[in-house]
Amino acid sequence: MKKKNIGTKLAVFLTLLVFVSVALIVVLNQKNDSVPEKAPTEPPSIEGQPLFGKSNAPVTIVEFGDFKCPACKAWGDTVFPKLVEEYIESGNVNFAYVNVPFHGQESILAALAAESVYKQDPSVYWDFHKTLFSSQPETAKHDELWVTTEKLLELTSTMPSISPEKLRQDLEQELTMPEVETDTALYKENGVGVTPTIIIADKKISDPFDYEEIRNVIEEKLSAANE
């Protein structure tokens, strides 16, 4: 009897665990149903986008992300460093980031700031990118407020080449909105309905957290590029 109880409890616990895991995945991967998912037919245009790594690398990876998205922060903390170590430092792969402001006004504010920093001094863009994701509270829910003009000014206060007056003006008057709109057109064109979305050359990765899948596609594209 006791054994059966333990078995039942275990079954209930495992069922709950599956439900919680599924719920977590749904919450972490922010979906936007208004954009139909589709496979790209060619590599996304990265003209005017920040590029990490050697500009002449044979393969380009594009992340479609949102500074407000917890899964994007998790991807940057776990998968991105592996890519840097294995493929970007050697010059085989470079990496571009495109804003997908899925989480309302704060996403847009963060994207406007990123575009302002990139325009003012492209060489500090990736520092800002990293700092902004690091500032996302560990417990952040999608609706928790943390991106503010004052916060963005504080994050750039250690970057002498970024003018706080210019940044404030870009945010308050939305002067970098054309760049954000370029990104918006790009994610729609590439059928991006979830963040993060990772596209390697012309191939969309089905699970951005599956490093084996990422590695296989990179190897395939590197072989094709070397033919």
In whole angstroms, the minimum distance from the beta carbon of 169 to Ca ion comes to 19
In whole angstroms, the minimum distance from the beta carbon of 138 to Ca ion comes to 26
Of 49 and 94, nearer to Ca ion (C-beta) is 49
Please provide residue 65's backbone torsions phi and psi, each rounded to the nearest 5 degrees: -140, 175
Of 170 and 183, nearer to Ca ion (C-beta) is 183
What is the distance between the alpha carbons of residues 179 and 40, in angstroms, rounded to a whole number?
21
Other residues' Cβ atoms within 10 Å of the Cβ of residue 156: 23
Of 186 and 201, nearer to Ca ion (C-beta) is 186
The answer to whether the beta carbons of residues 106 and 146 sit under 8 Å apart is: yes
Find the residue with minimal CB distance to Ca ion.
183
What is the distance between the alpha carbons of residues 109 and 151, in angstroms, rounded to a whole number?
11
Residues 165-184 that bind Ca ion (CB under 5 A): 183
Burial 58-82 (b: 16+ CB within 10 A, else e): ebbbbbbbbbbbbbbbbbbeebbee
In whole angstroms, the minimum distance from the beta carbon of 66 to Ca ion comes to 12
What is the distance between the alpha carbons of residues 2 and 155, in angstroms, rounded to a whole number?
58
Q: Select from 45-53, 56-64, 79-87, 209-217 the region that touches Ca ion (CB under 5 A).
A: 45-53
Query: What sign has the CA pseudo-torsion 204, 207, 208, 211?
Result: negative
Of 166 and 215, nearer to Ca ion (C-beta) is 166
Q: Select from 49-57, 102-110, 145-153, 156-164 the region that touches Ca ion (CB under 5 A).
A: 49-57
Q: Select from 46-54, 127-135, 161-169, 215-223 the region that touches Ca ion (CB under 5 A).
A: 46-54
Of 53 and 92, nearer to Ca ion (C-beta) is 53
Which residues are at the interface with Ca ion (CB under 5 A)?
49, 183
